[in-house]
Amino acid sequence: MDRRVVITGIGGLCGLGTNVAAIWKAMREGRSAISPITNSELHELNGTIGAEIKVLPEHGIDPKQSASMDRFSLLAVIAAREAAKQAELSVDEENTHRIGAAVGVGICGWDAIETNYRALLLEGVRRAAILTAPKVMPSAAAAQVSMNLSLRGPVFGIASACASANHAIASAVDQIRLGRADAMVAGGSDAPLIWGVLKSWEALRVLSSDTCRPFSADRKGLVLGEGAGMAVLESYEHAARRDAKILAEVAGAGLSADAFDIVAPSVEGPMAAMRACLSDARLNAEDVDYLNAHGTGTKANDPIETAAINRVFRHHARSLSVSSTKSMHAHCLGASSALEMIACVMALREGVVPPTANYRVPDPDCNLDITPNVPRERKVRVALSNAFAMGGTNAVLAFKHA
């Protein structure tokens, strides 16, 4: 069934702000949220940088439900509630089985895992907290969103590392296209600013010591952040019937695997995903105005992504506006491409390309127009969002005006 899928609501929170308006304002200003982490009680994090949500907003979630959530699930529910509110999505007994949720996550409930390890191994507690298992399961965020919004349609979690949110949105689009749902709440969430997680990434020697500088020759690596982004997706007919305001259309999705290396990226996998996305969206390369790059700021990833973009877009790569918003909200793992979805939707709506912040030194191996430091006004008819994960799992989404 060839059903058009549109976005009628978006929600999010990250180090840049605790709602979409605040996030987009910071992106337009080219403001980075990367700073020393302050919220952890673990002294080992002193001096460690990240993009942290300093204070959570008043969210009105039932304390009994929030007590059963790890932080990544709480962030997902807050973002989903904002998206549902903007979409004016009303759920009742007649439609509840036709609305579902898909939430991507990269590392799931490490806050609960680490808290219990400390209690059991260091403090001599005999038994783990009773809700530890349901808190840490990768599908917990999707389940909590479904319970909070009373969604009884297709509900599932997606775990494909840094491509999880794009995979979740693509999978949600499929549910609607196939007629299994009329609407889906989809996106991603992660809360990786945890001692054990940071130490694991530190061991890979890919973390930056100062900030994230994607595509800049003096880049030192990525920076981790926390956050969530969610969208209400609907079939065009469903949105039109209820006279919903349409923000953008999800024009297509392209998925691929490198089948190459567990950590090292390849050129061919990202190329295949971008080409598959353009084909699914029935677009030519020349139709794309803005590309939100995966752009992690590592020595290896940025030139490989640049090469893939150049091969897919050929001569049009010179006319393409590219940026990495990870320079501002950092790499939020399973939430990153959901926050980048917000950047794409807002770029379409306002005709502004958010910049790549912190850029200083041109790199001949990253020879794209990466919108350095300052936002650019231009008409954006089509935006692509790249997400390329460890293990070589790639997911690219195309957004356009409905």
Q: Is 272 exposed, middle or buried (0-12, 13-18, 19+ CB in 10 A)?
A: buried
Q: Tokens standing for 10?
A: 């978006």
Residue 19 carries which DSSP code? S
Q: Which of 162, 212, 344, 366 is catalytic?
A: 162
Q: Is 396 exposed, middle or buried (0-12, 13-18, 19+ CB in 10 A)?
A: buried
Q: Tokens standing for 61?
A: 């979630």
In the chain, the amino acid numbered 31 is R
Q: Which of 167, 238, 329, 331 is catalytic?
A: 331
Q: How far is CA 60 from the centre of its chain?
A: 24
321: nearest Cα among 285, 295, 289: 289
Residue 97 carries which DSSP code? G
Length of the chain: 402
Distance CA 235, CA 140 (A): 26
* Contact predicate 162/392, CB 8 Å: no
Q: Which of 167, 238, 294, 329 is catalytic?
A: 294
Distance CA 196, CA 201 (A): 9
162 is catalytic: yes
Q: Which residues are paired to 395 by β-bridges? A: 255, 387
* Contact predicate 285/278, CB 8 Å: yes
Known catalytic residues?
Answer: 162, 294, 331
